[in-house]
Amino acid sequence: MSHPLHIFSRRTFLKTVGAATAGALIASCTPQAARSKPTIVITQAVNYDPKLIRRQVQAALDKIGGIADVLKHGNRAAIKINVTGSQQMQQVNKLPEIETYHTHPEVVRAVGQLLRDAGVTRLYIVEAVYAKAHWHDYGWDEVARSLGATLVDLNDTTPYNDFAATPVPGDHHIYDKFTFNHILSDIDAFVSIPKMKCHNTCGVTHSLKNLVGLVPYRFYTMNEKDEYRSGFHGPQTETAKRLPGVIMDLNRARPVNLAVIDGIMTVEGGEGPWVQGLNQLKPGVLIAGKDPVAADAVATAVMGFDPQAEFPKEPFVHVHNHLNMARQLGLGTNVLDEIKVAGAAIADVRTPFKVSY
pLDDT at 132 over 50: yes
Condensed to tens digits (0 to 9), the pLDDT of residues 28-87 reads 444 444 568 999 999 999 999 999 999 999 999 999 999 999 999 999 999 999 999 765
pLDDT at 12 over 70: no
Q: Which amino acid is at 272?
A: G
* pLDDT band at 89; cut points 50, 70, 90: low
Q: Which amino acid is at 104?
A: H
Tell me how far apart the alpha carbons of residues 316 and 276 are, in angstroms, rounded to a whole number. 18
Q: Which of 253, 271, 263 is nearest to 331 (CA)?
A: 253
pLDDT at 227: 85
Q: Calculate mean pLDDT across residues 277-296.
A: 97
Domain boundaries, the chain: 10-349
pLDDT at 5 over 50: no
Proportion of the chain above pLDDT 70, given as a percent: 89
Most confidently modeled range among 26-40, 126-140, 169-183: 169-183
How many other CB atoms sit within 10 Å of the CB of residue 352?
A: 12
Condensed to tens digits (0 to 9), the pLDDT of residues 203-220 reads 999 999 999 999 999 999
Phi-psi region of 17 (alpha: psi -120 to 50; beta: other; left: phi over 0): alpha
Determine if the pTM surpasses 0.85. yes
Q: Residue 165: beta bridge partners? A: 179
- Ramachandran angles phi, psi of 340, nearest 5°: -90, 115
Contacts of residue 26, defined as CB under 8 A and 6 or more positions apart, other chains included, come to 330
Tell me how far apart the alpha carbons of residues 112 and 146 are, in angstroms, rounded to a whole number. 10
Q: Please, what is the angle between helix 105-117 and helix 50-63, to 10°?
A: 50
Q: Residue 279: beta bridge partners? A: 268
Q: Residue 122: beta bridge partners? A: 76
Q: Calculate mean pLDDT across residues 90-101.
A: 92
CA distances from residue 97 to 60, 104, 128, 272, 280 in whole angstroms, order as listed: 25, 9, 17, 9, 10
Q: Which amino acid is at 292?
A: P
Task: Assign 3-class secondary structure to 268-336.
Answer: ECCCCCCCCCCEEECCCEEEEECCHHHHHHHHHHHCCCCCCCCCCCCCCCCCCCHHHHHHHCCCCCCCH
Q: Which of 283, 266, 263 is nearest to 351 (CA)?
A: 283
Tell me how far apart the alpha carbons of residues 62 and 120 are, in angstroms, rounded to a whole number. 17
* pLDDT band at 134; cut points 50, 70, 90: confident
Contacts of residue 172, defined as CB under 8 A and 6 or more positions apart, other chains included, come to 249, 252
Residue 45, burial from CB neighbour count under 10 angstroms (0-12, 13-18, 19+): buried
Q: Map residue 199 onto helix, strand or coil.
A: strand
- DSSP state, residue 87: S
pLDDT at 165 over 70: yes
Which parts of the chain are beta strand (E)? Answer: 39-44, 76-80, 122-127, 150-153, 164-167, 177-180, 189-192, 197-199, 203-205, 258-263, 266-268, 279-281, 285-289, 340-343
- Ramachandran angles phi, psi of 65, nearest 5°: 90, 20
pLDDT at 244: 97
